[in-house]
């Protein structure tokens, strides 16, 4: 294939790494990570093979929602650094071939934002109609609450304003009125500002909520909200033709497809595959991949220049909201039986290693699956070393603990007194004493080195992200088998969801004398029988990526 295609559409085979600056590396000893600390660790990300760094919110904030309650969309939180520090970080990343994207959180502001402070002070404020107000809340004010443990209504009465305001999330996060053209123009300015400083795109927070105008009495000013998403994409393309929008859209497949822009592909560049993620956990709970297979067969093919974002874990609760109640309970029983491990009645606040009993073979199989499935893999910081969670921390922050670099003080994250850390470390079996970067870099059998290998092979195999995916029948219920074809290249991937080893039998298309398969993960080469039959062992929780080799092929394997 033409390598220039992979550069122009870099997101189609990127390796995206999400992190929160304040949990990554602290250089000034205040117990909170900072931008300079991330800059000092940029070579670590380059060594791992990361090609796109996704920064969670770094904007000024009262920090009542881990930075998602923003008081200045153009600022940098002084506790993390300055604009100068951020530009230096972007420059260092780009020098190492790493693009940087950031969270775009514009469906709401903090109630401390100057816009809202002005809006609540007077009905004559120029910012009054930037928010959604009503004299009385609607009858369905308690429907669709996102955080049922904290909120009882989507409308909050404000004494100073003398009206109720809409908040789809926490009450301290009043919704912006996307139907107001002044708000839409401001969002474009925010995007333009950060792109001018070097960002290569944005992860767009809660996209369906951003486009939701049903609570606004002026909704008629934006009769087709998706038109605005097209405007955002067009503006992005004018400023930088290689910039991308990665959307958080947790909807059924048929509804998510629309956020790509359907066949035109003129809205979001990428959408997260929430359905596939949830079916993966159901399949893991059952030790067979049937539900994941079903999801992938139902998943729409994205527009030509778009892509699905695949992931095992993100920074929020591990939501299971698209499973049936019985399916959800299966996953809870398998991976989070205690109520303290669950959240909002719909998800888990655990990381994968603790859910799988820190079974390294099973962990490695899951990440092999992540990097071989069609889509662009997204990692959450610490996944590469198998970090756990701290359930003593409230809510979703249980999985947002400081990065574990060494077995020293505070896991090498900070030189502050442990009591002064802005968030506690993981304790117990998966504490920094036993799980850290320094030890795993030196261990050839570590999870870190496994994921580093997966990234290298993934980047060498454009079939996995660019090719046509075909689900195969391996004749073994516990094995997920698929092949990816692009131009003249073919990779077959096998993943065993069960604790018992097995052997698969597959028909390899295009069989001819001398046909072989080379396992890209182990280096082992297997001959294909002359009738095109491939027999291949798969270990307990085993996995392999098999490149099909014809006589005369010049692949480096």
Mean pLDDT of 262-268: 92
Confidence of residue 554 (pLDDT cuts 50, 70, 90): confident
Q: Which residues contact 357 (CB under 8 A, 6 or more apart)?
A: none
Mean pLDDT of 362-375: 98
Mean pLDDT of 173-200: 98
**362 φ, ψ (degrees, to nearest 5):** -70, -40
pLDDT for residue 151 is more than 80: yes
414-425: per-residue pLDDT in tens?
Answer: 999 999 999 999
Q: What token pair was written down for 152?
A: 């009882």
Of 179, 150, 155, the C-alpha closest to 166 is 155
Q: Which helix (H) or strand (E) holds 234?
A: helix 225-239
Query: What is the pLDDT, as a whole number, of residue 3?
Result: 58
CB of 45 within 8 A of CB of 98?
yes
d(Cα 6, Cα 18) in Å, to the nearest integer? 21
Task: Name the 3-class secondary structure at 99.
Answer: strand
Give 553 or 306, the one with higher predicted confidence: 306
pLDDT for residue 488 is more than 70: yes
Mean pLDDT of 125-142: 96
Query: What is the pLDDT, as a whole number, of residue 215?
Result: 87
pLDDT for residue 1 is more than 60: no
Which candidate in 248, 267, 288, 291 is catalytic?
A: 248
pLDDT for residue 509 is more than 80: no
529-538: per-residue pLDDT in tens?
Answer: 888 899 999 9
Q: What token pair was written down for 62?
A: 């009262």
Query: What is the pLDDT, as a whole number, of residue 330?
Result: 98
Q: What token pair was written down for 246?
A: 């990665």
What percent of the chain has a predicted confidence (pLDDT) above 70? 98
Task: Name the 3-class secondary structure at 289.
Answer: coil
DSSP conformation letters of 129-197 = GGB-EESS--TTTTTT-S-TTT-S-SEEEETTTTEEEE-SS-TTSPBB-TTSHHHHHHHHHHHHHHHHT
Of 180, 265, 270, 272, the C-alpha closest to 225 is 180
Q: What torsion do the CA atoms of 189, 192, 198, 199 make, to the nearest 10 degrees?
A: 90
Which candidate in 65, 111, 205, 519 is catalytic?
A: 205
Confidence of residue 250 (pLDDT cuts 50, 70, 90): very high
Of 50, 14, 69, 55, the C-alpha closest to 197 is 55
Radius of gyration of the chain (CA): 24
Strands 99-104 and 133-134: unpaired
Query: What is the pLDDT, as a whole number, of residue 556?
Result: 84
In whole angstroms, how far apart are CA 210 and each of 108, 202, 206, 246, 528?
8, 14, 6, 14, 52
What percent of the chain has a predicted confidence (pLDDT) above 90? 93
Confidence of residue 510 (pLDDT cuts 50, 70, 90): low
Per the annotation, the verdict on 205 as an active-site residue is yes
Mean pLDDT of the chain: 96
42-96: per-residue pLDDT in tens?
Answer: 999 999 999 999 999 999 999 999 999 999 999 999 999 999 999 999 999 999 9
Mean pLDDT of 284-293: 98
Task: Name the 3-class secondary structure at 290.
Answer: helix
20-29: per-residue pLDDT in tens?
Answer: 999 999 999 9
Q: Which residues contact 210 (CB under 8 A, 6 or more apart)?
A: 106, 107, 178, 204
Of 492, 540, 499, 487, the C-alpha closest to 518 is 492
Mean pLDDT of 141-155: 93
Mean pLDDT of 459-481: 96
Order of all β-strands in the sheet with 133-134: 133-134, 163-166, 155-158
pLDDT for residue 121 is more than 90: yes
Query: What is the pLDDT, as a whole number, of residue 425?
Result: 98
HSE at residue 138, side-chain half, CA atoms within 13 A, is: 15
d(Cα 246, Cα 309) in Å, to the nearest integer? 8
DSSP 8-state assignment for residue 302: P
Task: Name the 3-class secondary structure at 250.
Answer: coil
Query: What is the pLDDT, as a whole number, of residue 550?
Result: 87
Q: What torsion do the CA atoms of 71, 72, 76, 80 make, to the nearest 10 degrees?
A: 0
pLDDT for residue 4 is more than 90: no
Does the pTM surpass 0.85? The reply is yes
CB atoms within 10 A of CB 416: 17
Task: Name the 3-class secondary structure at 244.
Answer: strand
CB of 403 within 8 A of CB of 413?
yes
Question: What residue has token string 């009905």?
Answer: 123
Task: Name the 3-class secondary structure at 463.
Answer: helix
232-243: per-residue pLDDT in tens?
Answer: 999 999 999 999
d(Cα 251, Cα 209) in Å, to the nearest integer? 11
Q: Is 31 left (phi over 0), alpha (psi -120 to 50) or beta?
A: left
323-367: per-residue pLDDT in tens?
Answer: 999 999 999 999 999 999 999 999 999 999 999 999 999 999 999
């Amino acid at each position: 294939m033409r390598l220039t295609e992979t550069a122009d559409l870099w997101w189609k085979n990127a390796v995206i790494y999400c992190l929160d600056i304040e949990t990554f590396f602290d250089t000034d000893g205040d117990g909170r990570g900072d931008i300079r600390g991330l800059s000092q660790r940029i070579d670590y990300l380059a060594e791992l093979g990361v090609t796109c760094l996704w920064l969670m919110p770094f904007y000024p904030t009262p920090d009542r929602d881990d930075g998602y309650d923003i008081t200045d969309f153009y600022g940098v939180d002084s506790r993390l650094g300055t604009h100068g520090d951020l530009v230096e970080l972007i420059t260092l990343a780009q020098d190492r071939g790493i693009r940087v994207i950031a969270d775009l959180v514009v469906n709401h502001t903090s109630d401390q934002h100057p816009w809202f402070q002005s809006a609540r002070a007077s009905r004559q404020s120029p910012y009054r109609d930037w928010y959604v107000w009503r004299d009385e809340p609607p009858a369905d004010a308690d429907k669709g609450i996102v955080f049922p443990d904290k909120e009882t209504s989507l409308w909050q009465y404000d004494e100073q304003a003398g009206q109720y305001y809409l908040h789809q999330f926490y009450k301290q996060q009043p919704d912006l009125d996307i139907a107001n053209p002044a708000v839409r123009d401001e969002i474009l300015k925010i995007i333009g500002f950060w792109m001018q400083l070097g960002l290569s795109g944005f992860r767009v927070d809660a996209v369906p909520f951003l486009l939701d105008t049903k609570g606004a009495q002026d909704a008629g000013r934006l009769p087709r909200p998706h038109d605005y998403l097209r405007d955002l994409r067009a503006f992005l393309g004018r400023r930088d033709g290689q910039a991308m929008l990665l959307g958080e859209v947790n909807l059924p497949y048929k509804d998510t497809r629309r956020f790509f822009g359907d066949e035109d592909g003129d809205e979001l560049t990428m959408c997260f595959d929430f359905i596939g993620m949830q079916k993966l956990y159901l399949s893991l709970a059952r030790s067979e991949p049937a539900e994941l297979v079903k999801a992938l067969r139902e998943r729409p093919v994205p527009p030509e220049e778009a892509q699905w974002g695949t992931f095992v874990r993100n920074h929020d609760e591990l939501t299971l909201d698209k499973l049936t109640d019985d399916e959800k309970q299966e996953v809870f029983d398998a991976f989070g039986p205690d109520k303290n491990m669950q959240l909002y009645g719909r998800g888990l606040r655990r990381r994968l290693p603790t859910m799988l009993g820190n079974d390294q073979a099973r962990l490695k199989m899951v990440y092999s699956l992540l990097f071989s499935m069609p889509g662009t893999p997204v990692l959450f910081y610490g996944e590469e070393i198998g970090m756990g969670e701290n359930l003593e921390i409230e809510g979703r922050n249980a999985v947002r603990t400081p990065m574990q670099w060494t077995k020293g003080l505070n896991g090498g994250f900070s030189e502050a007194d442990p009591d002064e850390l802005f968030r506690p470390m993981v304790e117990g079996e998966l504490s920094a004493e036993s799980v850290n970067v320094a030890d795993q870099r030196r261990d050839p059998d570590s999870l870190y080195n496994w994921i580093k290998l997966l990234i290298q092979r993934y980047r060498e195999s454009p079939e996995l992200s660019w090719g046509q995916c075909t689900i195969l029948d391996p004749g073994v219920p516990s094995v997920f088998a698929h092949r990816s074809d692009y131009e003249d290249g073919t990779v077959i991937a096998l993943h065993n969801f069960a604790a018992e080893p097995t052997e698969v039998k597959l028909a390899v298309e295009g069989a001819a004398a001398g046909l072989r398969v080379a396992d890209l993960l182990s280096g082992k080469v297997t001959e294909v029988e002359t009738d095109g039959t491939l027999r291949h062992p798969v270990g307990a929780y085993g996995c392999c990526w098999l490149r099909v080799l014809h006589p005369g092929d010049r692949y480096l394997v």
